[in-house]
């Protein structure tokens, strides 16, 4: 299966939030701590992306970076898909 678009990744992120009884704001600059998006949620999002694309993401490829905002998550997953 081909890579997911940024919008598709955002949809999946919204599903992760919804499953936790939370809502994903539309603003990419929203702070992850403030919206309650935790490391377990990020990990779940990665697994959802893997299930959608039918392939494992290579987390070793990109360098460590700060992921503080919604946009950072979307950037990072986009980058992982093409790594």
Question: By the criterion CB under 8 A, which residues form the site for another protein?
Answer: 18-19, 39-40, 42-44, 46-48, 51, 56-57, 59
Q: How far is the CB of 37 from another protein (least distance, A)?
A: 12
Output 26 or 39, the one with its CB closest to another protein.
39
Q: How far is the CB of 41 from another protein (least distance, A)?
A: 9
Q: How far is the CB of 27 from another protein (least distance, A)?
A: 23
Picking from 54, 56, 51, 68, the residue whose alpha carbon sits closest to that of residue 12 is: 51
The answer to whether 67 and 42 are in contact (CB under 8 A) is yes
Output 53 or 57, the one with its CB closest to another protein.
57
In sequence order, the β-bridge partners of residue 69 are: 31
Picking from 36, 67, 48, 40, the residue whose alpha carbon sits closest to that of residue 10 is: 48
């Amino acid at each position: 299966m081909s890579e997911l678009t940024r919008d598709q990744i955002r949809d999946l992120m919204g599903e992760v939030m919804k499953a936790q009884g939370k809502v994903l704001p539309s603003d990419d600059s929203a702070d992850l701590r403030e919206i309650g998006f935790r490391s377990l949620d990020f990990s779940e999002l990665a697994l959802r992306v893997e299930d959608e694309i039918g392939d494992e993401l290579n987390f070793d490829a990109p360098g460590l970076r700060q992921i503080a905002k919604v946009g950072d998550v979307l950037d990072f997953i986009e980058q992982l898909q093409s790594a």
